[in-house]
């Protein structure tokens, strides 16, 4: 497991990925990071609302198996949880973006587990939680 430095913060992560192989890859990557705590994993969007309310995560990672309803779902989640950061990974895992309240989407230049984990640790780009 990764070593936590004294000045690093822990980030709570909720994962809602329908793709089993992608969920397993993300789960393995998070286990190696002392700074990132996987607090809940949901398999479907229906259980997402209660998981968000009970786990109070800093990050939500979800895949985008279909575009139907996704923009509304993200807008609703950010409205109810304004400090939440959402990492949306495309169905083919070729693209990813970060959504946060009051900001345009931030598209990751490269989608790899290394880059995803680095982005989760950076939180708002400065390494600090907002």
Task: Judge whether residue 129 has pLDDT over 50.
Answer: no
pTM for this predicted structure: 0.82
Q: CA 118 → CA 32, 45, 74, distances in Å?
A: 12, 25, 22
| Structure confidence by residue, pLDDT tens digits, 20-51 | 888 898 999 999 998 999 998 887 767 888 89
For position 14, what pLDDT does the model report? Answer: 94
- What CA–CA distance (Å, rounded) separates 59 from 33? 14
For position 109, what pLDDT does the model report? Answer: 84
Query: Are 14 and 47 within 8 A, CB to CB?
Result: no
CATH topology of domain 11-122: Rossmann fold (3.40.50)
Task: Judge whether residue 56 has pLDDT over 50.
Answer: yes
Q: CA 85 → CA 12, 20, 41, distances in Å?
A: 11, 22, 16
């Amino acid at each position: 497991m990764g070593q936590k430095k004294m000045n690093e913060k822990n980030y709570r992560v909720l994962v809602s990925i329908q793709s089993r192989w992608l969920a397993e890859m993300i789960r393995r990557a998070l286990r190696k990071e002392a700074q990132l705590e996987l607090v809940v994993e949901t398999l479907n969007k229906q259980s997402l609302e209660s998981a968000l309310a009970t786990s109070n995560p800093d990050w939500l990672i979800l895949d985008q198996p279909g575009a139907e309803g996704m923009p509304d779902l993200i807008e609703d989640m950010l409205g109810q949880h304004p400090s939440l950061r959402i990492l949306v990974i495309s169905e083919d895992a070729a693209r990813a973006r970060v959504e946060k309240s009051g900001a345009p989407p931030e598209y990751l230049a490269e989608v790899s587990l290394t880059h995803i984990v680095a982005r989760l640790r950076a939180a708002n780009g400065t390494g600090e939680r907002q």
